[in-house]
Amino acid sequence: MSVVPLDSIMYDPLTWIHPARFALPARLDGIAQRSILNGMLISLYGLSLERPALPAHSLPRQFVEAWHLLPQTALLMACQRHRASLAIGGCGAGLPDWLRQFAALPLMASRSSPTESLPSPARLLAWGRYELLAFADGLPRGLRQRLDLLFPPEEGRDDSHGLSRPSPCRLLLKLAFQHAKRHPATPDAAGLRRYIDQT
């Protein structure tokens, strides 16, 4: 049986879980060890193993097909939603090209005002996490449970960042998915973490 993205998402969390939640020691990277550790992670987080249906053009299928780009998509959505805050002191101009281009598009009213403090990339990622979680009700339980594990555990708390979960915007999600997939400078997961950690 060939491995498809859904198999990795459901049964191989080691391939995508944020390293702040679990980092695989190199000495445990054998097939048998990975199998044991995957089972432990699935048990630890109480993850459902029920394989969800993925109808064509459905929201769950979109999430599965873009799974490895969901943190990047989240950051794009947050930059778009909070572009007024990014305009403070021309901060938006200092964003990487793949973020700056998307943030500059007038896709929706900015949720923040120019009087707010300048958000850090880590805060933007936390806000972006909530952009994705706004769609959680439309996802099967197994995907919903795993979505949060793509992000570091300390990010995205409403109480620390003063924002409630936004209303889901399918157009914003679709355009952010497309931009993340098509822009040649969109970083991989490791590149995104380096960007967040260095700024």
In a domain, residue 145? The reply is yes
Q: Is residue 104 part of a domain?
A: yes
Q: Is position 10 within any domain?
A: no
pLDDT at 198 over 90: no
> HSE of 181 in the Cβ direction (CA atoms, 13 Å)?
11
Domain presence at residue 30 = no
Has residue 48 been placed in a domain?
A: no
pLDDT score of 1:
39
Tell me whether residue 168 is in a domain. Answer: yes
* pLDDT band (50, 70, 90) for residue 7: very high
**Global pTM?**
0.88
40 occurs within a structural domain: no
Q: How confident is the model at residue 156 (pLDDT cuts 50, 70, 90)?
A: very low
Q: Which residues form the domain of 145?
A: 55-198
Structural domain count, the chain:
1
| Domain membership flag for residue 7 | no
Per-residue CA distances from 128 to 12, 49, 162, 174 (Å): 24, 26, 14, 14
As a whole number, mean pLDDT of residues 36-49 equals 97
